Structure 1
Amino acid sequence: MNPFSKGRYEHIPTHLYYLPHKLISELEDSTPSYVIGSRGSGKTTLLKSLNWEERIRNKWLNQELGGDAFRGRFIGVYTKLPLIQVRSFKAWLREHVGATSDSLFGYYVDLVSIENLAFSLSVIVNEMHIDVSPENESVAVSRFLHDSDYLIENEGDETNTLVGVHQAIRQRRRRLEKLAQAGISPSTCLADFFIPEIGELSRSFCSIFGALLDASTETEELQKWHFKFCFDEAECLDDRQLLVINTIIRTTESPASYVISFVGQPTDLSRTLHDNLTAQSADRFIHFLDHITRPEFENLCDGIANVRIRAQLESEGRLPGDLRQFQTANVLGRLNLNLLVHELVSKSESGEAKALEKLAERFRISPWLQDGESLSVPPYIEAHLADVLKLTPPPGNESNAKRRQASQEFRKKFVASYLSICRELKVRKIPYAFANMVIGISDSCVRDYLSQMHQIFESFEGGLVDFVNGTVDWQLQSDAIHIASDNKKRSISSGIEVSKPENVRRLTYCLGALAAVLQQGTKGTVIHLRSSERGIFQFSEPIGPEDKNPLLFDVLKDANEAGFIRVKSEGQRILGFRVHASMAPSFGFSYRGAYYPVVIKKGDVIKMLETPDDDDLILLAKQIGKRISEPGSDSAQMTLWPTDDASGFVFDDSDVL
């Protein structure tokens, strides 16, 4: 069995969990959270890990929690928003935008939340996971129904149990759904039965039953119980519905709390229905899963892999004592680009390869190297850069000057030089190998990491223990990484991930080819080395949903959410975009994606969407690349060092050393 299964959470009967400490601590906190990330970044796993039933019944999660299913002293309930009647409410209230429709949708969200929580609490209490006496339960139910007496419409429906509360709320929720489906006027609904303020029902329920749990369990004063409503796939909400959710979160009070997940950037997480009431940083956490640092992502991947490997071996009844902790770097090795070039040069009889060998030998004995510095393989990349860019070493033995030049002239351009050498050597299938490349190609997406490791393990001839305790040949890695990238590229046409598959395919194919042209360079040019790893594409002005050509915005948004394109955005406006690094092996650009911006015309991108043939897309990419790289082009004059920000387009050259 391959432990690096690529299956989605929804398709795996018993899910395995690895919980990153800092992130899960903030999600377990009573402060509300928004979780934002592309598909495959782990949103559903995180939200499910907060669900009370999963914490009690999933042994792998329970182990991660140290056996404490109620760690953090909360009860979480999970709701997948597309499975409730969100679309029905959109259609129903589309013609009635205003306070009435907002109140109805807010009330519906409250009913769904408390129906789920009331049922969950009844099971928890009945199964004795928390010891609550029937008398105390009855008193709490009576208090809640006294505060919300409109829930009981018939005297015969009165109850003193959580089960009864669940049934009463479910009946009211279903009635509201029927009104929506029938298209009854919202004003008629308000006259027909009482609608409380947005969030009032959940505030009342959580306050009363939070006090019940506090009184029923021994907890420290600072460890009071709270309830967490986890709403997944909130991208299905329209802008007005999102304002309602923001308002609920902004006006919520402990012990009620919310965790909301989105694919892609929501419209606005600060605005509410009240002009003078906005959500601030202190009101909630916002977690951008696509923008975590490379070391954080590598630790996350290693943690997930360890959990999967140990579960696999345990299920097979063999967990050897000498099994080492899985680390991607141990199994795949740390990046050595000169080694990859050495392998290519050693197998080539071309004049270019012989010339590069001579350059490297001259560089090895030149004043470039610091005193005492030794190299395991010839310095092909440094020699190539020094030759092409006409660099000269600092005079004498100024080690500090050499270090500065090593960073500015060499390290930041290592990957660009590697790609350029591969082009000059006419390498048809550029090698991609080692842990740094696998992590970079994954582009902060756990699913892409697992996809690559899945293929690598499939190609490995030994068993799982040998895989973990050994090292994998770089050539095997490269072949497997190419398979994973090609599989993802072909998946665009399936339409599983995107709503406009053909448009997304054309865009990704052409931009991927264009990124390769810009980063590999062409014969006789050096701009790809002076401003390396270009491929963050920017229009002269940002675009948004109101753009004159909405198809362009929709396709970019669609491709971003599916993990084929990465966009830099501000609210709903797209400022820049690049091809997802998982496409790098298929097209031949940097495993780090792109770091430097170039200006691209909207007309060029629209032409990509209108070009059906793959060969024509490649030709178009070459034409655009040639124009961008022409001396004096605005695109060739972009800032050399982009600034760090929260977009995910941040330069990190630490992995090439």
Structure 2
Amino acid sequence: MSEHNFQLLSSTLQQLFGDNRAEWPPSSFRQLFVTPTYLSKLEARRPCILVGGRGTGKTTALQSLRYDASYDRLQSNGQDFGDLVYLGFLVRINKNRVRSFHGRDESLDWGKYFAHYFNLIACAELVSMAAWLEEKTGLRMPVASLKLIAQDLGMVDFSGDSTLSLGGAIKNALSLLQLKVNNPKSRQEVVLSMAEAPLRTFVEELVACELAGERTIFCCIDEYENLLDYQQAILNTYVKHASPPLSYKVGVRKNGLRNRQTLDGQDLLRTPDDYYEIEIAEEGFDHFAQQVAAVRIRAARDAGIPIPKNLNVFLEELSFAEEAQLLGAERIAKKVLEELAGEPVCAYFERKPSHEVYFLKYWQASEKTSILDLALHWIANEQEWKTRLGNYGYASLFWLSRGNKGARIRKYYCGTRVFLALAGGNIRYFLELIEASLRHELSDRTDFPNELTLSPKSQTLAAKE
């Protein structure tokens, strides 16, 4: 293999495991997306709030509900446009922008301005979805429908005759709103829309003109924690009073839903009355993470990269005995046998593997008893020492490298089970561990072996990093 090809395949492999993001290009999203175990719950018609920490896959799950992503998944399963039962669009809350709707200037009703802002950005996404539906169905939104939506958005002078012209008008309205919010004392007049009204008008018109058919339309809102408390109250009201064909899917970090009030301040947003809550940490992370890795392994093999099909083979593991050997058990066991030399018990321990013999020295460090006494006790109480080794063997591995100055590795962290535990429910971190292991494994290579696996050393250095 040429150096160029090696570098190309190495780069491909590291990119595949580089991240699990909703910002992939559509082709990569279709190829690498793995259905989370909770997707059927998220696809239900009722509003849902998806709760999880950073990197747990909230954005990717919400992105999968988008009209184009869900259609691509259907196509990959041999289905077509007629099998779509819902249409989703995604609004990501930009902290820099939503925090602009706040200040000491009391001349502006910040709540009304924010509601208008959300209506505009949501309708901008709906315009993109409507254009996509027009392309798929061959139908067009009537001019009367476009004018009705524009009027609800406060654009009373709208005279366009296409979804494209509506999108342009919304973009201009957003620019005017931003200028007003940043210059509250300016004389620029902005006509404000009513909370949620334009969204409902838009989806009802999509249904009426048969672009959406009888499908439910999901307004997916990501990074809900970026909203100020009063802004959460406004959108909480949208969620609480949602009714077909419009429903809401919200992604939020743990404890990010700080305010459960609605606009009247009394009627709280509650589960399960108003929405279904999905806690990602309780939805089977280990199985999902292994599936995510398996898809990337398959893509790597399809690209001609020689790696094993099985994740457990790709991520090499160490048994207790193997790890003890690597950490210097044989050196300690040799000292134990030297101390027992000449004693009748020595022959008994010479027949034992070094990963058991060294344990006498470890136990001596805490008991302050002679090696001979411990050896005699072991012979007389074989089962007790077997249990002791099972209970304290892991801790003894940390002790093994004590005094071994300059040792780069004092404990190995490798294998699928260990990486899943280290990831702690964070799919992004799980993939990052594998990607960093690849970087260490490939750093001194100029060619792939017949089958590339990640050594315990590479995995451990990645975990340390």
Task: Please tell me the TM-score bracket, short chain as reference.
Answer: 0.7 to 0.9
Q: Choose which of 245, 258, 282 in structure 1 pairs with 2:248.
A: 258
Q: 1:114-133, aligned counterparts within 5 Å?
A: 114-125=123-134, 127=135, 129=136, 131=137, 133=139
1:160 is displaced (CA, Å) by 5.7
Q: Distance in 1 between matches of 2:93 and 2:270?
A: 24
Q: Choose which of 293, 304, 311 in structure 1 pairs with 2:299.
A: 311
1:161 is displaced (CA, Å) by 4.4
Contact 1:31 1:285 in 2 (8 A): yes
Q: Choose which of 327, 331, 334 in structure 2 pairs with 1:348.
A: 331
Q: 1:444-459, aligned counterparts within 5 Å?
A: 444-458=425-439, 459=441
Specify the SS of the correspondent of 2:91: strand
1:89 is aligned to: 101
- Which has the higher relative contact order, 1 or 2, with Cα contacts under 8 A spaced 6 or more apart? 2
Q: Distance in 1 between matches of 2:287 and 2:254?
A: 23
Task: Pick closer, same or farther for the CA change 1:72–1:12 going to 2, 3 Å.
Answer: closer
Matched, 1:332 2:332: no
Specify the SS of the correspondent of 2:100: helix
Q: 1:197-346, aligned counterparts within 5 Å?
A: 198-213=195-210, 217=213, 224-263=214-253, 265-268=255-258, 270-282=260-272, 283-289=274-280, 291-292=281-282, 296-314=284-302, 316=303, 318=304, 325-327=309-311, 329-333=312-316, 336-346=319-329
- Scaled by the length of structure 1, the TM-score of the pair is 0.54
1:573 is aligned to: none
Amino acid in the other structure paired with 1:138: P
Q: Choose which of 42, 63, 66 in structure 2 pairs with 1:51.
A: 66
Q: Deviations over 1:571-624 (max 9, x none)?
A: xxxxxxxxxxxxxxxxxxxxxxxxxxxxxxxxxxxxxxxxxxxxxxxxxxxxxx
Amino acid in the other structure paired with 1:199: E
Specify the SS of the correspondent of 2:37: helix
1:113 is displaced (CA, Å) by 0.5
Q: 1:486-525, aligned counterparts within 5 Å?
A: 486=465
Q: Choose which of 10, 15, 18 in structure 1 pairs with 2:33.
A: 18
What is the alpha-carbon root mean square deviation over aligned residues?
4.7
Contact 2:414 2:456 in 1 (8 A): yes
1:225 is displaced (CA, Å) by 0.9
Specify the SS of the correspondent of 2:435: helix
Task: Pick closer, same or farther for the CA change 1:105–1:138 going to 2, 3 Å.
Answer: same
Contact 1:152 1:158 in 2 (8 A): no
Amino acid in the other structure paired with 1:247: T
Q: Choose which of 476, 482, 486 in structure 1 pairs with 2:461.
A: 482
Task: Indicate the structure (1 or 2) with the bigger Cα radius of gyration.
Answer: 2
1:71 is displaced (CA, Å) by 6.2
Amino acid in the other structure paired with 1:301: A
1:227 is displaced (CA, Å) by 1.7
Contact 1:34 1:285 in 2 (8 A): yes
Task: Pick closer, same or farther for the CA change 1:183–1:146 going to 2, 3 Å.
Answer: closer
Contact 1:55 1:70 in 2 (8 A): no
Q: Distance in 1 between matches of 2:128 and 2:49?
A: 25
Matched, 1:74 2:64: no
Runs of 5+ consecutive residues of structure 2 not aligned to the other structure: 1-8, 369-373
Q: Choose which of 34, 37, 62 in structure 1 pairs with 2:49.
A: 34
Q: Choose which of 448, 451, 456 in structure 2 pairs with 1:466.
A: 451
Q: Distance in 2 between matches of 1:307 and 1:271?
A: 42
2:5 is aligned to: none
Q: Distance in 1 between matches of 2:62 and 2:99?
A: 22
Bigger shift: residues 29-38 or 378-387:
378-387
Q: Deviations over 1:125-154 (max 9, x none)?
A: 1x2x2x2644xx328717x81895574423
Q: Deviations over 1:79-127 (max 9, x none)?
A: 332288323323xx454499x32232122212210121023212321x2
Amino acid in the other structure paired with 1:419: F
1:277 is displaced (CA, Å) by 1.6
1:268 is displaced (CA, Å) by 1.8
Q: Distance in 2 between matches of 1:162 and 1:70?
A: 22
Amino acid in the other structure paired with 2:131: S
Matched, 1:178 2:179: yes
Q: Distance in 2 between matches of 1:354 and 1:63?
A: 67
2:191 is aligned to: 193
Q: Deviations over 1:287-333 (max 9, x none)?
A: 444x357xx3332232222222333343x4x599xx97432x23335
1:437 is aligned to: 418
1:172 is displaced (CA, Å) by 3.4
Q: Distance in 1 between matches of 2:223 and 2:48?
A: 14
Contact 1:81 1:234 in 2 (8 A): yes
Q: Distance in 2 between matches of 1:183 and 1:354?
A: 84
Bigger shift: residues 102-111 or 226-235:
226-235
Amino acid in the other structure paired with 1:74: Y
Q: Distance in 2 between matches of 1:167 and 1:312?
A: 42
Runs of 5+ consecutive residues of structure 1 not aligned to the other structure: 218-223, 367-373, 487-657
Q: Distance in 2 between matches of 1:175 and 1:357?
A: 87
Task: Pick closer, same or farther for the CA change 1:167–1:21 going to 2, 3 Å.
Answer: same
1:202 is displaced (CA, Å) by 1.6
